[in-house]
Amino acid sequence: MNKPALDGIRVIDLTQFEAGTVCTMSLAWMGAEVIKVEHPKRGAGGRFSFEDPKHDAKGFLIMNANKKSVTLDVKADEGKKLLKELIKNGDVLVENMGPGTIERLGFGYETVKAINPRIIFAQIKGFGNGSPFSKYPAFAPIGHATGGAASITGDPDGPPMQPGLNVGDSGPGYLCAMGIAAALYQREKTGVGQQIEVTMQETIMAFARSSWEAQYRTGEAAKRVGNGMPLDDVAPAGMYHCKPFGPNDYIHIYISRHPGSKSWEQLCETIGRKDLLEDERMTTPRSRYQHRLELDKIIGEWTAEHTKLEAMDILATAGIPAGAVLDTMELTNDPYLRKREMIAEVEHPFHGKVLIPGFPVKMSDTHIPVKCSPVLGADNAEIYSKILGIDAGRLAGLKEKGII
């Protein structure tokens, strides 16, 4: 087994909530040493919940695996000095504070670059520098709205809707991690770092790029299609209820619109309705769309005879694109996903054994076990003594003054 890809890379983590934390957690899963810098009492944003302000929220565990935690009051003068020392010894700094916050703390890019010219300085914000919205606060739902996702989500005759995924947070986090990896590679050639900016709005636009195909085809803004195919008016493409008819007992079936695809013929044969192949109303994806209500009823009668996993197996085995709707509990209990550590078990001192989503990137020559997120300040002694050379007496004094 080779050393991890980012072995030897040190990340100063000034992130909170989801977008930034997903970025730094991804770097940790690729082998980087991630040092999460947190307030001595409050911790980082998202560590504690309103319901239990004394113990780590389980959401924090999900976002901060494989990291180290140090406490530091970065608003205090002595705290700023310690942060500068950490920056001198770091390779990457990641922050996703509110607009202008990092600059007001005195750690904008030019300042950090002067401290350590080799550092990669990465920021995740709602909107880009220079945007008319750049000073506005943003969370994932704001990114979904301003990046186009809400406009294409929901039923055609209903209002825009938020997507069920929090892609406006995790999406920028993953893209930022990708940018950092590229910047680290480039630094091997140039010897200097650079600034990286990833925004929620632009990330959503990137994930929604296929919707521009629909816009250019119709000359109008991409529309909401419910469970249909957003790229084109084609059928069948939708959710079909399966037994025992619970809230998630559905299967999604999509018949390709591309010429040469045999999936329509395969579907008709599989559900015992080869007569539809002779029906002139069903000859093309668009003509089927015009009669989709009747067609959906026919398909729904077949799916109602099967569970969603039975239907998926029958259809997919016949070469028909189909996927059962799996909820979070089903995914958590999936033995295959457990074996791949996409669902990983970690041990927390308060919560005990907790199952959390793992890292979706699997590498043949690298395996980094998923470790539980650190308790607040768990690594103070290691980081401050081994990296900054601070002795036990001074550490005790810093703790007494509330600096760490």
Render pLDDT for 34-78 as a digit per residue (tens, 0 to 9). 999 999 999 999 999 988 889 999 999 999 999 999 999 999 999
Q: How far is CA 367 from CA 22, 176, 198, 337, 375, in A?
A: 19, 22, 28, 15, 24
Residue 256: predicted pLDDT: 84
Identify whether the C-beta of residue 84 lies closer than 8 Å to the C-beta of residue 72.
no
Residue 230: predicted pLDDT: 82
Residue 205: predicted pLDDT: 97
Alpha-carbon distance of 254 to 24, in angstroms, equals 36
Residue 50: predicted pLDDT: 87
pTM beyond cutoff 0.75? yes
Residue 2: predicted pLDDT: 82
Alpha-carbon distance of 86 to 106, in angstroms, equals 15
- What do you get for the CA distance between the two ends of the chain, in Å? 37
Residue 1: predicted pLDDT: 66
Domain boundaries along the sequence of the chain: 10-206+334-400, 237-241+250-324
The fold of the 10-206+334-400 domain, in CATH, is Rossmann fold (3.40.50)
Say how many CA atoms lie within 13 Å of 30 toward its Cβ.
18
Residue 231: predicted pLDDT: 79
Alpha-carbon distance of 398 to 133, in angstroms, equals 40
Q: Which residues of the chain have pLDDT under 50?
A: none
Contacts of 124 (CB under 8 A, 6+ apart): 15, 19, 20, 23, 94, 95, 96, 172, 173, 176, 198, 199, 200
Write down the CATH number for the domain with range 237-241+250-324: 3.30.1540.10
Please indicate whether residue 157 is annotated as part of the active site: no
The active-site residue, picked from 169, 233, 249, 379, is 169
Identify whether the C-beta of residue 377 lies closer than 8 Å to the C-beta of residue 70.
yes
Helices (H) and strands (E) in the chain, counts: 17, 11
Angle between helices 167-190 and 200-207 (to 10 degrees): 100
Alpha-carbon distance of 20 to 26, in angstroms, equals 10
